[in-house]
Amino acid sequence: MSDTALLVIDVQDSFRHRPYWDEADLARYLARQQALIDGAVARNVPVVQVFHVEDEGVFSLASGHVRTLEPVRIAPDVVFHKRRHSALVGSGLEVWLTRNGIRRLLVSGIRTEQCCETTTRHASDLGYAVDYVGEATLTFAMTDAAGRRWSADEIRARTELVLAGRFARIATVEEALAGPAPRLAA
């Protein structure tokens, strides 16, 4: 088995029912997310699907919206439910990774600056090598306290800036699937 796993975080229908949902970047994201999933399967890299769940609302299991965002095609090796931003808190994911000898994670999903970034930071702090596949993440424009509207592309760029070299290697789908970055000679 591979020592790498693909995390597909919160790629769920629940988001379509949030007021900030915007399909502007959806087609681009879906193409890259699907390429990453398909590439992982072709390389025998385990695919881990993580769903965010809450007690009420569109993220509750009772809502019927905690299901894969269509038209994503995925047959995960394992599924976890989380209640926190990091997929590694209280979900059982860390135990599964340890039991399966996983040391490297490919992070993808929804939302770029929230659960994907938080999981990346947490995984790095736990000692995992992390490829943050920003083009296979999706987020939405946000307005800050001063009234400035940040586009999804600006949020993605900021997220990649703060993660790069500290918490993760920022990788394209193709780079992530090709394997870890070669180590440079000292």
Beta bridge partners of 50: 9, 80
Core vs surface per residue 58-74: b (16+ CB within 10 A) or e? bbeeebebbebbeeeeb
Q: Which fold has domain 4-178?
A: Rossmann fold (3.40.50)
List per-residue pLDDT tens for the chain, 186 residues long: 689 999 999 999 999 999 999 999 999 999 999 999 999 999 999 999 999 999 999 999 999 999 999 999 999 999 999 999 999 999 999 999 999 999 999 999 999 999 999 999 999 999 999 999 999 999 999 999 999 999 999 999 999 999 999 999 999 999 999 998 665 454
Asked, as a colleague might, if the bond just before 71 is cis with ω within 30 of 0, I would say yes
Instruction: Give the whole-angstrom CA distance, residue 159 versus residue 143.
Output: 16
Instruction: Give the whole-angstrom CA distance, residue 104 versus residue 70.
Output: 27
This prediction has a pTM of 0.95
Sketch the domain layout of the chain as residue ranges. Answer: 4-178
CA distances from 41 to 48, 50, 80 (A): 11, 17, 18
Eight-class DSSP state of 116: I
Instruction: Give the whole-angstrom CA distance, residue 33 versus residue 109.
Output: 7
